[in-house]
Amino acid sequence: METNGHRLDLDSAPLGPVARLIVIVLFEGVDLLDVTGPPEVFSLVPRETDDAAGYRVVLAARTLDPVTTSAGVRILPDLTFGEAAARRIDTLLVPGAVEVDAERRVRALTDPEVVGWVRTLAGRARRVASVCVGAHLLAAAGLLDGKRATTHWSTAGQLAAEHPAVEVDADPVFIREGEVWTGAGISACLDLSLALVAEDFGEGVALRVARQLVMYLKRPGGQSQFSVPLEPVSATRRGEDLRHFIRRHLGGRLSLADIAAYAHVSERQLARIFTSELGMTPAAYIESARVELARGQLEATDATLERIASTCGFGTADTLVRAFRRTLDTTPTEYRLRFRTAAG
């Protein structure tokens, strides 16, 4: 990137005590959204938290010459790989590139020189994350050996064939193995970035950033088949107040009479408010909110189904199972086995 025709001088703009330096790897033919999507997520963090520093994102390449992406858009690097290797990196983000043959078969590309720099830069980073087919670069650098990893579904077979030491799972939108993260197909870079934000600043900040982007908070995986959009937002203060009241009391007894009493309306009027402002009945909203709360615990904890059912307001594990079947057409146990993203 340049400012007023001059190269950005990173040393003259100190990072500050809490800023996190994110280095994104650039090379010819890289997927454009893999490069530009994550910075959009990271740039919104200062707006949604008291941590004004947030992240500082820089782009690194072989030289400072413009890099042409797969979309034909040219991007200017901030620094060279060598310069990046001299810095203490919080997160190394590795995008990918593909080629498509005459029969429309997709193949991930790995440049040996870029692979070498990825290996070097990873040694300077607190954590490493790949976006889409960037997982092939991590694998070629030996960073995924003995680990479970994901990539775009179209190149998962190639990744497994070329790197038998990697346990390839094409279902999850992203996978974390210690401090190594891998993300699935292209737009999943936003989900992965939100997960990194959640780890650094908490789920609340990640949710607010997701709302700014008008997108899913955190897809747990499966090429979006289990994706649930952000909770509905009411156009009125009354509707929002009711929604937040419910969210605060999901873990306890929460009857329609309780909610109606809080809102100082009848249960019939309460139903009309929810239907007109949130597009569902109060009971449906409560169940949906409890399922979402349970999903988070299934993805991120080892809590028993009984414990999750209790803390999420379902009461019993059987009630939790029935709610999951109605809402997601699966069971909590199947969901956890398929979409657990934290390392076991």
Q: Which residues pair with 56 in a beta bridge?
A: 21
Q: How far is CA 140 from CA 110, 126, 181, 249, in A?
A: 8, 19, 15, 48
Identified catalytic residue from 44, 131, 132, 309: 132
Cα separation, 32 vs 41, whole angstroms: 15
Closest CA to 341 of 218, 160, 163, 235: 218
Contacts within 8 Å (CB) and 24+ apart, 326-335: 326/287, 327/287, 327/288, 327/291, 328/226, 328/228, 328/291, 330/226, 332/294, 332/298, 332/305, 332/308, 333/305, 335/220, 335/226, 335/295, 335/298
Specify whether 132 is catalytic: yes
Any idea which residues carry the catalytic annotation? 132
